[in-house]
Structure 1
């Protein structure tokens, strides 16, 4: 029986934006989940566990470069593999 590829450890700070210095492509090969204040969120673009915040898009609002405006929400953050 072959073992699946080992999952890398989830970092303290992670971003889905490939231009960010906190983007780790190897992690996105696996499905991850974010639990914020006890509820699972599916719209998280960036998180930091030690500082206790997530960034989520503010609806359909975009800036002048076409990137979505991001809201920073503070609370308890947990990252996990699904």
Structure 2
């Protein structure tokens, strides 16, 4: 899928976060639509992923931590990142 558009898109990193305060945030990647699959099923609520370690972080309902950020849970499995 991403072979045809790989020349116009930056390469997807092994670990990526949507939080701009994170050291794993790459703003250039978010200029394009990204898709994440966990165990073959596309997820639309992923806030952070790591392909080599095989996990994604997703919000846990409406629960917030003490700083007002969504409480995240880590799901493990086969992670695939791709450009839409």
TM normalised by structure 1 equals 0.93
Q: Which runs of 4+ in 1 moved over 3 A?
A: none
Aligned equivalents of 2:23 and 2:77: distance in 1?
A: 23
Secondary structure at the counterpart of residue 25 of structure 1? coil
Which residue matches 2:81? 79
Structure 1 segment 1-80 matched on structure 2, within 5 A:
6-80=8-82
Task: Name structure 2 gaps, 5 residues minimum.
Answer: 1-6
Task: Name structure 1 gaps, 5 residues minimum.
Answer: none
Aligned residue-pair number: 78
Structure with bigger gyration radius:
1
TM normalised by structure 2 equals 0.91
